[in-house]
A and B are shown apart, each in its own frame.
Chain A
């Protein structure tokens, strides 16, 4: 059980990190909605994606305690995601850009 001795202080710290990231995301989203074109959409979009993955990291590592699991388990969980999802994204979105305007 020693491996899981997360302190409540640490839990609340993670909560505030998640809360701050979400607030920043919502703030940027609201600003962009009110003033379309003010911010570079490509940069903003990537900022949203990076913040999302950052939040996911905190949830998985701290809340799901993967941070204190064995390295073998960490890799078992992370590798299928890291390999398969970008692969799927690449194939499907690439095709979507091609299909756009060709079929109805």
Chain B
């Protein structure tokens, strides 16, 4: 083991780029993780371009808000984004008071960060539940594998009243002729919500990417909550007071901010665009 007096760069005697070993290792990890998420989001872009006609718009899929009736696009995900940004602020405040060796304030802000993470995970579970259960009307999975929305006769759509009845996703016209409708619905099955195989809102790839990317992000949040909890217990035990510094809080802080950073991109590419 090298001692404090080692000055050789290769012996680890100085701090490369003036950052500590632990922080550099965290940055190594975050860099690889950032490229992993980039790969996922770019792959999402690929699938979206490929299946452009049947790709559902997130604003037509995620329209629920607890306690409010009706069509509420973007509102719920805006709340989730707010929660995550807020927990990022509480984390950076915990790091700040860590530098001041203020145990009481580090405990407070770290506790709030933990709470924010748990609320975010709960919100995500709620969103997944709605997506998996789908709408009351559902859709029809046609024999050829495409998805069609069956509409009530006389319903007003884009300023036009249709006699009936069926919109095959990816096509720009309604099929209203009775014989054609029954031919299409021959062998069709009703589907509700989304899973890895079917998706009532459109391309099943949308559901696959949604579950995979938000799931992988959610897994990061979950791990973050677990790690934050361990650090929180250590703060309470006074481990870092004894050690003389709160660098551990700083390191998990980097991870936590990264989770927020990834959400910023998921929010844009999944929900806004």
**Residue numbers in B under 8 Å from A70 (CB-CB):** 17-19
A95 in the interface, Cβ–Cβ < 8 Å?
yes
Q: How far is the CB of A63 from chain B (nearest CB, A)?
A: 5
Residue contact B46 to A96, C-beta cutoff 8 Å: yes
From known contacts A19-B82, A77-B31, A93-B45, infer whether A26 and B74 are also in contact, taking CB-CB under 8 Å.
yes
Instruction: Say which size band chain B's interface belongs to.
Output: 35 or more
B22 within 8 A of A: no
B-contact 0/1 string along A19-57, CB 8 Å cutoff: 100110110011001100000000001001101100110
- The reply to whether the CB of B257 lies closer than 8 angstroms to some CB of chain A is yes
Cα distance, A76 to B17, chains bound together (Å) = 10
Residues of A within 8 A of B264 (CB): 52, 55-56, 59
Complex: how many Å from CA A2 to CA B250?
Answer: 14
How many angstroms between the C-alpha atoms of A60 and B92 in the bound complex? 12
B271 at the interface (CB under 8 A from A): yes
* Residue with the greatest number of chain B CB neighbours at <10 A, chosen from A18, A29, A72, A100: A29
Q: How far is the CA of A64 from the CA of B49 in the complex (A)?
A: 34
**Which of A5, A11, A45, A88 contacts B93, CB < 8 Å?**
A11
Does any Cβ of A come within 8 Å of B273's Cβ?
A: yes
Which residue of the partner chain B has the closest CB to A59? B261
- Complex Cα distance, B98 from A5, in Å, reads 11
* Closest Cβ–Cβ distance, residue A76 to chain B (whole Å): 7
Is B89 within 8 A of A12, CB to CB?
yes
Tell me the minimal C-beta distance from A35 to chain B in angstroms.
12
Q: Which residues of chain A are within 8 angstroms of B75 by Cβ–Cβ distance?
A: 26, 30
Cα distance A6–B94 in the bound complex, in angstroms: 12
Q: Is B192 an interface residue (CB 8 A)?
A: no
Q: Report A32 CB to chain B, min CB distance, Å.
A: 8
A95 touches B85 (CB 8 A): no
* B81 x A29 contact (CB < 8 A): no
| In the complex, residue of chain B having the shortest beta-carbon distance to the beta carbon of A89 | B42
Nearest neighbor of A55 in chain B, beta-carbon distance: B264
* B108 interface contact, C-beta 8 A: no
* A-binding segment of B32-40, B122-130, B203-211: B32-40
Task: List A contacts of B42 (CB < 8 A).
Answer: 85, 88-89, 92-93
Q: Counting CB contacts under 8 A, is B243 at the interface? A: no
Q: Is the CB of B273 within 8 A of A45?
A: yes
Least CB distance from B85 to A in Å reads 5
Q: Inside 8 A of B92's CB, which chain A residues have their CB?
A: 6, 11, 62-63
Q: Which of B34, B35, B50, B88 contacts A100 (CB 8 A)?
A: B50
Contact B35 A84 (CB under 8 A): yes
Contact B49 A100 (CB under 8 A): yes
Q: Which of B45, B52, B89 has the most CB of A within 10 A?
A: B89
12 more contacts with CB within 8 A, not counting A48-B273, A62-B92, A76-B17, are: A11-B89, A25-B267, A25-B268, A29-B74, A33-B74, A45-B273, A49-B268, A85-B38, A88-B39, A92-B43, A93-B42, A96-B48
27 A-B residue pairs with Cβ-Cβ distance under 8 Å, sorted by A, are: A6-B92, A8-B96, A11-B96, A12-B89, A18-B85, A19-B82, A19-B85, A22-B81, A30-B75, A48-B268, A49-B268, A59-B257, A63-B257, A64-B254, A65-B95, A69-B17, A70-B19, A73-B18, A73-B27, A77-B31, A80-B31, A84-B38, A88-B39, A89-B45, A92-B42, A92-B45, A100-B49
